[in-house]
């Protein structure tokens, strides 16, 4: 019997760098009526074990070691006797969840895992995490991408142990070379295809080109480097954005964290000491109602003397 793909959705909290986010994770079960592998045993063991039933679990494969992808791995392994497989470069992240338990085996690029007569090839795709891996099953026309590739673009790279140029290189050089009809089963959310995520023009290699396809999500990408809030052209900010290194104050008032001179009459951004157009210069008192400047008085005297 040909292997089939089953999805179990588990819910829990992803924690890293002092932050926490409630997320839904896709747990993928690949196999037949006799044996399966579990990909990313996240959050809760009970629904995973219920889906497995009486079948033999040959391996628990972790695409990476963020806690939301491995929280249930030890419990599922204990219940089934299956080995947990993680790429060695995930050791720092793995130890955040399991400081006293090592994985049972290692994943390596090009390694083949066979279940129910179907081969799944391990693809090392660092970027979202240093040891992030995907599994490609050509016979099933499927790729299990973990958090490397989503519907809309790359996975997040704004946290520890992640790197944006690296994930773009992994997607470009390893994943986008797969058959375009390959269905991408992601770690969170809906499926996509390689064709849907490929750049519109062949050969696009720079990170900005791929990042234009990114949409923000809880565990998807951070705002792309090509978005208006981050697009800096030759040192100049995008239209409507503050200068690099500055923070926009609350609308209608100056920032309480900045000294005087940061904002002008219309909220314009100015260097310290630069007054807004029409406002008094720093250090000079403003003219009060009913008074005029010396220059204005001289002009009026000149006009009156010329008309006498």
At 248, the pLDDT band (50, 70, 90 cuts) reads very low
**CB of 187 within 8 A of CB of 63?**
yes
With residues binned 3-state (H G I as helix, E B as strand, rest as coil), the percentages for the chain, rounded to 5, are 20, 25, 55
Token digits of residue 7:
């999805």
Lowest mean pLDDT segment, chosen from 160-174, 191-205, 241-255, 282-296: 241-255
**CB of 27 within 8 A of CB of 41?**
yes
Lowest mean pLDDT segment, chosen from 38-52, 120-134, 142-156, 199-213: 199-213
- Looking at residue 303, its pLDDT comes to 58
Q: Return the percentage of the chain with pLDDT > 90, whole number.
A: 64
**CB of 197 within 8 A of CB of 153?**
yes
Token digits of residue 194:
């390689």
CATH number given to 4-197: 3.60.15.10
Residue pLDDT, tens place only, 86-118: 999 999 999 999 999 999 999 999 999 999 999
State yes or no: pLDDT of 294 exceeds 90.
no
Nearest to 92 by CA among 39, 55, 129: 129
Residue pLDDT, tens place only, 122-143: 999 999 999 999 999 999 999 9
Nearest to 22 by CA among 47, 50, 42: 42
- Give CA–CA dist 244/110, Å, rounded: 43
Residue boundaries of the structural domains of the chain: 4-197
At 222, the pLDDT band (50, 70, 90 cuts) reads very low
User: Dihedral through CA 74, CA 159, CA 192, CA 4, nearest 10?
Assistant: -10
- Give CA–CA dist 294/297, Å, rounded: 5
Q: What are phi and psi of 56, to 5 degrees?
A: -75, 130
- Looking at residue 299, its pLDDT comes to 60
At 306, the pLDDT band (50, 70, 90 cuts) reads low
Helices (H), the chain: 45-52, 67-70, 73-80, 91-97, 164-170, 194-197, 207-211, 294-306
């Amino acid at each position: 019997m040909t292997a089939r793909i089953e999805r179990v959705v588990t819910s829990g909290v992803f924690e890293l760098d002092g932050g926490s986010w409630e997320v839904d994770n896709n747990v993928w079960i690949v196999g037949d009526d006799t044996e399966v592998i579990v990909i990313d045993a996240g959050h809760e063991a009970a629904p995973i074990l219920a889906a497995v039933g009486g079948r033999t679990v040959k391996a628990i494969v972790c695409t990476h070691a963020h806690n939301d992808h491995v929280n249930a791995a030890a419990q599922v392994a204990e219940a089934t006797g299956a080995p947990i497989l993680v790429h060695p470069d995930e050791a720092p992240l793995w130890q955040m969840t399991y400081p006293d338990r090592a994985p049972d085996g290692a994943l390596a690029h090009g390694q083949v895992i066979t279940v129910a007569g179907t081969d799944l090839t391990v693809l090392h795709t660092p970027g979202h995490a240093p040891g992030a891996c995907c599994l490609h099953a050509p016979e099933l026309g499927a790729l299990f991408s973990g958090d490397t590739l989503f519907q809309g673009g790359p996975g997040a790279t704004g946290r520890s142990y992640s790197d944006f140029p690296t994930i773009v290189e992994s997607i470009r050089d390893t994943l986008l070379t797969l058959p375009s009809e390959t269905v991408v089963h992601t770690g969170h959310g809906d499926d996509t295809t390689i064709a849907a995520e490929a750049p519109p023009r062949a050969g696009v290699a720079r990170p900005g080109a791929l990042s234009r396809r990114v949409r923000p999500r809880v565990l998807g990408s951070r705002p792309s480097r090509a978005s208006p809030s981050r697009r800096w052209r030759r040192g100049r900010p995008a239209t409507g954005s503050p200068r690099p290194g500055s923070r926009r104050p609350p609308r209608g008032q100056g920032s309480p964290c900045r000294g005087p001179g940061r904002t002008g009459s219309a909220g314009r951004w100015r260097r310290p000491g630069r007054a807004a157009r029409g406002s008094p210069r720093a250090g000079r008192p403003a003219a009060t109602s009913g008074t005029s400047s010396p220059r204005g008085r001289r002009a009026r005297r000149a006009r009156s003397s010329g008309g006498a």
